[in-house]
Amino acid sequence: MLESNQHSIFQTINAASPIDKVGVEERVARFQTRSIKDDAKAQGLKMVLSMIDLTTLEGKDTPGKVKQMCFKAHHLHDLHPNLPQVAAVCVYPSMVAIAKQALKGTSVKIASVATAFPSGQSNLEIKLADVKLAVDSGADEIDMVISRGKFLSGEYNFVFDEIAMIKEACGVARLKVILETGELCTLDNVRKASDIAMYAGADFIKTSTGKIQPAATMQVTYTMLLAIKDYFEATGKMIGMKPAGGISTSKLALHNLVMVNEILGPNWLHNKWFRFGASSLANDVLMQLLKLESGSYQSPNYFTLD
């Protein structure tokens, strides 16, 4: 029965039309020419801020660095009383307990990368243990990486089954599936990987780890948003989207929100369904918001670097 169901799913996935790369580029170019007035811009920037996953994923991460990031995550109102909190902080599994304690009593979510992030080059047993460590330590969300080598070798059933098993291991934690689109080479591969992830149980699909370039290009995000739209129309189930890596300016973030609104509609304009994986974006958004209010830019030194 399960094999029959999976066969049917892959028939649906394989029936997707090839991606018109030129058409995608033309459509994305139109999103980038939109002009946004100051009132709408301020509203949009606050929305962007509420959708950011502040992230530290370095070998040099320390408990002190994680605590500093967590403090920033829920004290933005110290800069201005009307600023929202960010959506989440994202850390390695070994740092989840530290972040959980630092954010106790707040609404900021704890996300954790897992499954041998960023390469995914490990066996299933270790990947499941990685997820279990993060969930047992208090993670609300798991950001897993797919096995790109298996995908590029055409072993799509392997990729599907691995995502499904990771989803089961997450329990109540939401699962974001990272495609690492910079390694998938074509938009057709991005579309297929998106479909596999969603049908295997992803709650979110995510572009990148931030370790490989190109990362969250608008062409890639556009392709993934269309996949989400088609999946919703076929199943009635909403799937979240997280572009990550390379979105460092408020202007680019706002262009992404315009694109989300036009493709998926206003229901997706909430941090339950859309996130930005870009810590450096937060400081640019803060600078732009304070510029709209005061008429002048603050020095970048006014903001913490994390």
Residue 23 in tokens: 């058409």
Q: Which of 53, 130, 143, 195 is catalytic?
A: 143
Single-letter code of the amino acid located at 154: G
Q: How far is CA 47 from CA 29, 109, 127, 209, 286, in A?
A: 22, 16, 34, 23, 12
Question: Which of 149, 220, 133, 206 lies closest to 175 in space, CA to CA?
Answer: 206
- Cβ pair 48, 254 in contact under 8 A: yes
Residue 242: active-site member: yes
- Cβ pair 106, 85 in contact under 8 A: yes
Q: Which of 203, 206, 284, 306 is catalytic?
A: 206
Cα 182 to Cα 200: distance, rounded to the nearest angstrom: 21
Residue whose pair of structure tokens reads 């909430």 in the numeric block: 270
Helical segments of the chain, H only: 2-14, 21-31, 38-50, 63-73, 96-102, 124-136, 148-152, 156-170, 187-200, 218-235, 250-263, 279-294
Residue 41: active-site member: no
Q: Which of 167, 242, 284, 306 is catalytic?
A: 242
Cα dihedral 59, 63, 65, 69, rounded to 10, equals 120
Residue 229: active-site member: no
User: Hey, which residues are catalytic here?
Assistant: 143, 206, 242
